[in-house]
Amino acid sequence: MIVILHNIRSNHNVGSIFRTADAAGCAKLYLCGITPAPIDRFGLPNKALAKVALGAEKTVVWEQVKSTLAALEKLKQEGYTIIALEQDKRATSLFNIEAVHKLIAAKKDKVALVLGAEVGGLPPEILAQADVILEIPMRGKKESLNVAVAFGITAYALTPTLSPREGV
């Protein structure tokens, strides 16, 4: 699974996503827009991100890309199924396992999961590029989860149908 992070501001959230991506066997992270990277613009380590990632920033392949749409377009051309995680009227519950696994099985591990900014989520132009939109049902009074927590739930819900990355 490839993971695309769209304008996620928090070093802590990105570090946590790196750590979970490593644990779940994700192949690559695309850090798009303002999403912080493990190395800053001066070539120095991002200590805040590294503190949470606990070394996963060195084991998970990552690439910094300015445009999320350009990254999605590239992945679509390579045959990836684009899955957006977002609350949307078109969304399917992550726990509709049969539908989700059927979709993934058709692409033979070529799955890209896109996650949006902490507050604003994914904008309509990115949702329009998704082959499927998944959501995690909310049962309490809060309307959403922290993006890193939502990624962890989703990564592990999707991974039974995916092969682990090589070397994991």
Residue 102 binned pLDDT confidence (cut-offs 50, 70, 90):
confident
Model confidence at 167: pLDDT above 80: no
Model confidence at 8: pLDDT above 50: yes
* Domain assignment present for 168: no
* Domain assignment present for 87: yes
Question: CA-to-CA distance for 17 and 82, rounded, in angstroms?
Answer: 18
Residue 108 binned pLDDT confidence (cut-offs 50, 70, 90):
low
Which of helix, strand or coil describes residue 27? coil
* Domain assignment present for 166: no
Tokens of 60: 């998970």
Domain that holds residue 146: 2-161
Model confidence at 162: pLDDT above 70: no
* Domain assignment present for 96: yes
What is the Cα 72 distance to its own chain's centre? 12
- pLDDT value of position 118: 85
96 compared with 39, residue with greater pLDDT: 39
108 compared with 48, residue with greater pLDDT: 48
Residue 142 binned pLDDT confidence (cut-offs 50, 70, 90):
confident
Residue 166 binned pLDDT confidence (cut-offs 50, 70, 90):
very low
How many domains does the chain contain in total?
A: 1
* Domain assignment present for 28: yes
Other Cβ atoms closer than 10 A to 80: 20
* Domain assignment present for 119: yes
- Lowest mean pLDDT of 56-65, 101-110, 126-135, name the range: 101-110
Model confidence at 54: pLDDT above 80: yes
CATH number at residue 151: 3.40.1280.10
- pLDDT value of position 143: 85
- Please report, in angstroms and rounded to a whole number, the separation of the first and last CA atoms in the chain: 13
> Exposed, middle or buried by CB within 10 Å (0-12, 13-18, 19+), for 25?
middle
- pLDDT value of position 106: 65
